[in-house]
């Protein structure tokens, strides 16, 4: 239970909690002490240097197999809406925020919340759609929606690649913001819907704007999407996803109890930090820092998007997809 509470606290913008040594398991304490031995430290540093010097092991030369699968998933999911509308096959009607799949109602959880608060009534079709989508994303990992279905995530990931490349050249710098800003905005958007009777967030959500633009054609709202991408390329890395988007937070609540997890194993870790360099939400990987893991096997928190980037970046296999409560790899 404490793990879930800490996970949700991180999701809401809290700083990673540094446990006292009394909270560490005996196995973790022994392993940390073993890794601190002079000969073990020298061996670990030598291995890290070897990994970073070998092109086939370095992050920049990874195969990105999970990224390829994710990009394919995002494109296919959103293309279904486009093809269904263009050819009028009625496979998927609507947009990503609210739709019908072969006549069965589907509704994005955050959109459903906004609509319910704005109109102050419960619509049975919306309930059906919300429950269906909620179960689906609970099964695959909550915030997996962000990295496996969201169209803005895809273009934002391209923007992030440009940001990292230019930052590496020294042309720009990242300007991190306070992660608690997302929680504050989450509450503000809820209150705006409740007070004004209008789904304010939906009018500025790049997720809905891009989804509708792909299906029905673009409009002036795409200027807003372009402005967000400009900020993400030149000023704040992953500005929308990390610091603003309430959609990710809504699905994050599901992620705290989802059966699909990313598990970290302390014995396999060299603490080189490659995983944190690529992670959209690096605070969920705090336990990968030296002397921070309180147990030998830990689950990444609710804010994890299950993108698989940390798994690919880790050269020792210390991170893997697993089913909660089992030892089986996915």
Q: Is the CB of residue 266 less than 8 Å from the CB of residue 31?
A: yes
Question: Tell me, what's the pLDDT at 57?
Answer: 43
The span from the CA of 183 to the CA of 172, in Å, is 28
Question: Tell me, what's the pLDDT at 38?
Answer: 85
Question: Tell me, what's the pLDDT at 219?
Answer: 84
Question: Tell me, what's the pLDDT at 62?
Answer: 53
The span from the CA of 96 to the CA of 132, in Å, is 14
For the range 84-91, what are the long-range contacts, defined as Cβ-Cβ under 8 Å and sequence gap of 24 or more? 85/215, 85/216
Question: Tell me, what's the pLDDT at 266?
Answer: 93
* Dihedral angle over CA of 241, 242, 247, 253, nearest 10: 140
For residue 84, which of 242, 216, 248 has the smallest C-alpha distance?
Answer: 216
Q: CB-based burial of residue 266 (10 Å sphere; 0-12 exposed, 13-18 middle, 19+ buried)?
A: buried
CA 67 to chain CA centroid, Å, is 13
Question: Tell me, what's the pLDDT at 56?
Answer: 47
Cβ neighbours of 14 (radius 10 Å): 14
The span from the CA of 219 to the CA of 78, in Å, is 18
β-pairing verdict for 297-299 and 92-95:
unpaired
Question: Tell me, what's the pLDDT at 58?
Answer: 42
The span from the CA of 182 to the CA of 314, in Å, is 29
Q: Is the CB of residue 282 less than 8 Å from the CB of residue 276?
A: yes
The span from the CA of 276 to the CA of 149, in Å, is 23
Segments making up each domain of the chain, as ranges: 20-53+259-323, 65-253
Q: Is the CB of residue 100 less than 8 Å from the CB of residue 216?
A: no
- pLDDT digit string (tens) for the chain, length 330 residues: 667 888 888 899 988 877 777 788 889 888 888 888 888 888 777 777 777 666 544 444 455 778 889 999 999 999 999 999 988 887 888 888 888 887 788 889 999 999 999 998 888 888 988 999 999 999 988 899 999 999 999 999 999 999 999 999 999 999 999 999 999 999 999 999 999 999 999 999 999 999 999 999 888 999 999 999 999 999 999 999 999 999 999 999 988 889 999 999 999 998 888 899 889 899 999 999 988 889 999 999 899 999 999 998 888 889 999 998 776 555
For residue 259, which of 313, 307, 321 has the smallest C-alpha distance?
Answer: 321
The span from the CA of 242 to the CA of 109, in Å, is 18
- SS3 for the chain, per residue? CHHHHHHHHHHCCCCCCCCCHHHCCHHHHHHHHHHCCHHHHHHHHHHHHHHHHCCCCCHHHCCCHHHHHHHHHHHHHHHHHHHHHHHCCCCEEEECCEEEECCEEEECHHHHHHHHHHHCCCCHHHHHHHHHHHHHHHHHCCCHHHHHCCHHHHHHHHHHHHHHHHHHCCCCCCCCCCCHHHHHHHHHHHHHHHHHCCCHHHHHCHHHHHHHHHHHCCCCCHHHHHHHHHHHHHCCCCHHHHHCCHHHHHHHHHHCCCCEEEEEEHHHCCCCCHHHHHCCCHHHHHHHCCCCCCCCEEECCCCCCCCCHHHHHCCCCCEEEEECCCCCEC
Q: Is the CB of residue 237 less than 8 Å from the CB of residue 163?
A: yes
Question: Tell me, what's the pLDDT at 46?
Answer: 79
Task: Output the six-digit token pair for 89.
Answer: 């096959």
């Amino acid at each position: 239970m404490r793990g879930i509470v800490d996970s949700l606290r991180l999701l809401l913008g809290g700083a990673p909690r540094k446990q006292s040594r009394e909270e560490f398991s005996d196995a973790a304490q022994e392993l940390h002490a073993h890794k601190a031995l002079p000969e073990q430290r020298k061996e670990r540093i030598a291995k890290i240097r070897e990994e970073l010097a070998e092109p086939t092991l370095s992050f920049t030369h990874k195969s990105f197999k999970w990224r390829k699968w994710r990009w394919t998933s995002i494109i296919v999911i959103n293309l279904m809406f486009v093809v269904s509308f263009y050819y009028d096959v009625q496979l998927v009607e609507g947009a990503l925020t609210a739709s019908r799949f072969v006549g069965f109602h589907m509704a994005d959880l955050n959109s459903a919340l906004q609509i319910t608060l704005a109109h102050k009534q419960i619509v049975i079709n919306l309930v059906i759609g919300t429950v269906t989508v909620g179960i689906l994303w609970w099964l695959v990992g909550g915030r997996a929606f962000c990295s496996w279905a969201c169209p803005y995530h895809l273009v934002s990931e391209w923007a992030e690649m440009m940001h990292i490349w230019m930052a590496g050249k020294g042309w720009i710098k990242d300007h991190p913001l306070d992660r608690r800003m997302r929680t504050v905005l989450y509450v503000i958007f809820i209150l705006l819907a409740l007070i004004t009777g209008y789904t304010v967030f939906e009018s500025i959500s790049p997720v809905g704007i891009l989804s509708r633009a792909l299906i029905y054609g673009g409009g002036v709202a795409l200027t807003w999407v372009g402005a967000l991408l400009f900020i993400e390329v030149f000023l704040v890395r992953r500005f929308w996803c990390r610091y603003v988007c309430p959609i990710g937070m809504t699905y994050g609540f599901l992620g705290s109890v989802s059966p699909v997890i990313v598990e970290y194993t302390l014995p396999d870790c060299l603490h080189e930090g490659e995983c944190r360099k690529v992670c959209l939400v690096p605070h969920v990987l705090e336990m990968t820092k030296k002397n921070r893991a309180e147990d030998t096997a830990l689950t990444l928190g609710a804010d994890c998007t299950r993108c698989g980037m940390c798994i690919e970046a880790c050269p020792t296999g210390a991170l893997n997809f697993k089913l909660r409560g089992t030892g089986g790899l996915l």
